[in-house]
């Protein structure tokens, strides 16, 4: 990746993502947590990527609810500055009340992010969120938070996407969740995000929500939420799929198995010596090492 024009690319990513949504392009966003994984997503041909709260927290060996605005913005910024595709980010509960959520929007825009989702959980969030316990604020408070977030968007970058996320489907049902999404749409939200509990709810949700929906593919979920292929979700009428844990889970398994083998045998042979050479070259290609060589050759190594 050339550094030339990178700032211009970032400035246009909000428009790029909005145009993709408006064109009807179905977006499949693997969730990443660092620049290297983001570049792998880009190299694989995905049109956009996503920095999730779960993976950001896990990458720091803490729970997502303990993340600060600064930490999440910094991770997302590092990702956005490493790729040319748009980056969507998890902004939790907006990191506070409406005033705080306005700053949250502005900080993510300054960081080069193309959009965020804001949810109706309490702030600060609790670790029990991972046990699927819903601590939801009122519909009125949620809509107000979305309204002021959209005001900050319109004042700073109107192309920045605001996704209204409601976690209430898990305990209060589709009727309540869709009501919240539709109310948020009236307040200016561009898309909605809910968590249908069953295949039937997943099919019904796009029909009862007045803005396009994002589906979160929660591989490894423990509450029985169904998984669908990209094609199935597109046919059901969803606009986007966030693949929330697939990248970090696959990386975790590979590292865990490698370390066990290395510890138990004193060596690692699952990947051959030649494969290691090839992989190292792939890594150096993806971090653009040749570009650094070229600059040094023209300056200090000449």
Domain regions of the chain by residue span: 6-252, 271-298
Q: What is the pTM of this model?
A: 0.93
Q: How many Å apart are CA 131 and CA 66, to the nearest integer?
A: 15
The architecture in CATH of the region 6-252 reads: Alpha-Beta Barrel (3.20)
Q: How many Å apart are CA 74 and CA 67, to the nearest integer?
A: 11
Q: Do residues 233 and 242 touch, judged by C-beta distance below 8 A?
A: no
Q: Do residues 165 and 119 touch, judged by C-beta distance below 8 A?
A: yes
3-state secondary structure of 42: helix
Q: How many Å apart are CA 229 and CA 220, to the nearest integer?
A: 15
For residue 298, the surrounding DSSP H or E stretch is helix 289-298
* pLDDT tens, N- to C-terminus, the chain (302 residues): 444 445 555 448 999 999 999 999 999 999 999 999 999 999 999 999 999 999 999 999 999 999 999 999 999 999 999 999 999 999 999 999 999 999 999 999 999 999 999 999 999 988 887 777 889 999 999 999 999 999 999 999 999 999 999 999 989 999 999 999 999 999 999 999 999 999 999 999 999 999 999 999 999 888 889 999 999 999 999 999 999 999 999 999 999 999 999 999 999 999 999 999 999 999 999 999 999 999 999 999 97
């Amino acid at each position: 990746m050339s550094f030339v024009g990178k700032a211009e690319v970032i400035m246009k990513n909000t428009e790029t993502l909005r145009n993709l949504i408006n064109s009807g392009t179905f977006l499949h966003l693997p969730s990443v947590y660092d620049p290297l994984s983001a570049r792998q997503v880009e190299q694989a041909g995905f049109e956009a990527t996503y920095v999730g709260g779960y993976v950001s927290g896990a990458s720091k060996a803490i729970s997502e609810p303990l993340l600060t605005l600064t930490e999440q913005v910094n991770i997302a910024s590092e990702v956005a500055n490493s790729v040319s595709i748009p980056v969507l980010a998890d902004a939790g509960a907006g990191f506070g009340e409406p005033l705080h959520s306005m700053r949250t929007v502005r900080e993510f825009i300054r960081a080069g992010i193309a959009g965020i989702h804001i949810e109706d959980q309490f702030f600060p969030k609790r670790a029990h969120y991972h046990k699927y316990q819903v601590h939801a604020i009122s519909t009125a408070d949620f809509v107000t938070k979305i309204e002021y977030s959209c005001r900050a968007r319109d004042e700073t970058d109107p192309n920045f996407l605001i996704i209204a996320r409601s976690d209430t489907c898990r305990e209060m049902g589709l009727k309540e969740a869709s009501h919240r999404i539709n109310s948020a749409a009236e307040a200016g939200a561009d898309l909605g995000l809910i968590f249908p509990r069953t295949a039937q709810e997943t099919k019904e949700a796009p029909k009862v929500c007045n803005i396009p929906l994002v589906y979160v593919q929660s591989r490894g979920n423990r509450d029985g939420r169904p998984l669908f292929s990209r094609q199935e979700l597109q046919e059901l009428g969803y606009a986007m799929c966030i693949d929330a844990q697939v990248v970090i889970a696959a990386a975790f398994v590979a590292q865990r198995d490698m370390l066990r083998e290395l510890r138990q045998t004193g060596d690692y042979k699952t990947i051959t010596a030649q494969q290691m050479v090839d992989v190292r070259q792939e890594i150096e290609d993806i971090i653009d090492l040749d570009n650094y060589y070229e600059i040094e050759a023209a300056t200090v190594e000449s």
